[in-house]
Amino acid sequence: MKVVRDIAIMQKGAEQIRREGKRIAFVPTMGYLHDGHRALLREGRKKGDLLILSIFVNPIQFGPSEDLERYPRDWDRDCAIAREEGIDLLFAPEASSMYPAHFQTTVHVEQVTQGLCGASRPGHFDGVSTVVAKLFNIVKPHVALFGEKDYQQLATLRRMVEDLNFDTEIVGVPTVRESDGLAMSSRNVYLSSDERKVATVLHRSLEEGLKQYRSGQREVPKLLHAIQKGICEEPKIQIDYLEIRDAESLEPISMIERKAVAAVAARIGKTRLIDNILIF
């Protein structure tokens, strides 16, 4: 496994790989890898001749009161997992190289970033879009893989790629869950043992909404009521948002007529968790 930190070296290497006619599969991450990342890497291995992983904790997607400084990091463990999954190259740039002095350009995706996490995390998706655009220009992937757990992020990046004519295919990979249904996340490490048990109600409640849809219910308010009822049985959970939106445009809907997504964000103690389930 080759480790590259220099942006210019990574760009030149990627250009050479493309000239050789090889297909680059890319998995961008902020590190602290878990089985969800393993799933992305394994799918990436199927889709490219060369598999590249990036690890970069992106400072511009964190708000002033968010957890940038305490975001979990474990370089040695991440490298071990990367080797186990057989990646070809690990790109790990420094923040000072990605955002040098006087950096002032950002990428803003307008509509799909409205509401949901975009409402409670102002500027977050500008930070995500900007760093991914930069990584695409550096790594030059033919295909990039992202988890469906961060569904609004996935929709935002698909929109960006289409609007700005990136020659990169975006592939969404289904959410990987713990045995009890909790969506895998680097932030799960923040949860106490009691909070960890409470958190499982999010997925159970989303599944109840899907169950009612499959039993014939199509009215969004009634489906949301069923989901919220389950979550509110746990008094330690504070809901940030709970919505059902069109799965492609992320526009609010009142009736499910095509594929939709039920998305939730909630706080358990000091930890903010997100989850979703596709309804179709």
Which residues are the active-site residues? Answer: 37
CA end-to-end distance (rounded Å), the chain = 41
CB burial class (10 A; 0-12, 13-18, 19+) of residue 242?
buried
Separation between Cα atoms, residue 36 and residue 59, nearest integer Å? 22
Separation between Cα atoms, residue 9 and residue 15, nearest integer Å? 10
Separation between Cα atoms, residue 201 and residue 231, nearest integer Å? 6
Q: Are 145 and 158 in contact (CB under 8 A)?
A: no
Separation between Cα atoms, residue 160 and residue 164, nearest integer Å? 6
- The residue among 190, 202, 186 whose CA lies nearest residue 270 is 190
Q: Are 61 and 134 in contact (CB under 8 A)?
A: no
Separation between Cα atoms, residue 235 and residue 243, nearest integer Å? 20
